[in-house]
Amino acid sequence: MKEYKILVVGTGGRENAIAEALVKSHQVREVIMTRGNGGSELIKKCRRIKSTSIRAIEELREIAEDEEVDFTVVGPEASISRGITDEFRKKKLEIIAPSKKAAILETSKCWTKDYLKKIGVPIPEYEIFKNPEKAKEFVKENPKMRVVKADGIVEGKGTFVCGSLEETLWAIDKVFSEDFNQRYNNAGRKIEIEEKLEGEEISFFVLTDGEHVEFFGTARDYKKAFEEHERDRKTQRIINGFFRGMNPNSGGMGTISPHPLEKNVKEKVLKEIVFPTIENFPYRKEYIGIMHFVIMMVNENGQKRPKVLEITCATVIQKLRFDYHV
């Protein structure tokens, strides 16, 4: 029986969860993490390499070659958007992550919304802007448009779900600001403003190689940094001082899986959203890995209808009960 040596790229709790799932397999000899974090060192059969950035694509490829790993699992979008898959495949190294072109589903929210609209996948109403003044005029005239999103990759901090016109105007200024764009590589030079939907949010995962699609579970994601009922005076001072009164979205404040609605919506989401998205995707043959659909279930005419808020490409492994390499 072959034993596998696996490289996991990433620095967060998500990558530790991936490593923990992988080491459960009797066929996994060792998991190498770069860069990992302090918690990575507590995982059985796991070795951490601290010296390399997840953005240093050539160095990561050299590690995979020097360590003679059997395959690599990529967690963060930062590595994917910089072309780690393209670099590895040039050297015939096995890797589970979409190519740089295929990652456009996450790297450009504006492109993705235009694409989903074109193929008829249900989405919120939206408009795209490159000019902050025009964006402000639009939200003043359209009170239901209260979600502001930077087009590019901003480490999970580019979406602002606003409760008022004042907050929306502030978010537009924030995303278009020089400080924001210098920090996030011009991710906010173009923005998407969309309808604020009311409903229940679902994270819906599939595993695909561009041809085949396997359902990979659901989760309920908690993104708000501070729950309304948990606010005290100290917490409110933090929100007012650092976030101008807005309760910010985080990169994720925890999840439960499966989502309580999974059984009721699984087939509907696969049919109306997942299959058409993958079948029509121009770079589908370059997409190998997890596709994560962030969906809001909204009530329309007495029925629940799924609408896509966004799609992400970052890898997750949840409740794994089989060997990942199979």
Q: For position 14, what pLDDT does the model report? A: 84
Does one domain contain both 208 and 151? no
Q: Which residue in the block uniquely carries the two structure tokens 């309920």?
A: 220
Residue in 313, 265, 325, 323 with CA at minimum distance from that of residue 26: 323
Average pLDDT over residues 128-145: 98
At 213-224, the pLDDT tens digits run 999 888 876 655
Distance of CA 304 to the CA centre of its chain: 24
Q: Is pLDDT of 6 > 80? A: yes
Q: What percent of the chain has pLDDT over 90?
A: 63
| Domain containing residue 204: CATH number | 3.30.470.20
Average pLDDT over residues 171-180: 95
Domain for residue 322, yes or no? no
Domain for residue 179, yes or no? yes
Q: For position 46, what pLDDT does the model report? A: 94
Q: For position 209, what pLDDT does the model report? A: 92
At 236-292, the pLDDT tens digits run 666 656 565 555 655 555 567 666 677 778 999 999 999 999 999 999 999 999 999
Domain holding 284, by residue range, is 200-312
Give the 3-state secondary structure of the chain: CCCEEEEEEECCHHHHHHHHHHHCCCCEEEEEEEECCHHHHHCCCEEEECCCCCCCHHHHHHHHHHHCCCEEEECCHHHHHCCHHHHHHHCCCCEECCCCCCCHHHHCHHHHHHHHHHHCCCCCCEEEECCHHHHHHHHHHCCCEEEEEECCCCCCCCEEECCCHHHHHHHHHHHHCHHHHHHCCCCCCCEEEEECCCCEEEEEEEEECCCCEEEEEEEEECCECCCHHHCCHHHHHHHHHHHCCCCCECCCCCEECCCCCHHHHHHHHHHHHHHHHHHHCCCHHHCCEEEEEEEEEEEECCEEEEEEEEEECCCCCCCCCCCCCC
Q: Is pLDDT of 225 > 70? A: no
Q: For position 320, what pLDDT does the model report? A: 47
Does one domain contain both 306 and 204? yes
**Better-scored residue on pLDDT, 158 or 68:** 68
Q: For position 261, what pLDDT does the model report? A: 72
- Please, which pLDDT band fits residue 302 given cuts at 50, 70 and 90? confident
Domain end point (choices 139, 162, 195): 195
Q: For position 241, what pLDDT does the model report? A: 60
- Domains of the chain: total: 3
Q: For position 310, what pLDDT does the model report? A: 95
Q: Is pLDDT of 34 > 80? A: yes
Cα–Cα distance between 53 and 56 in angstroms, integer? 5
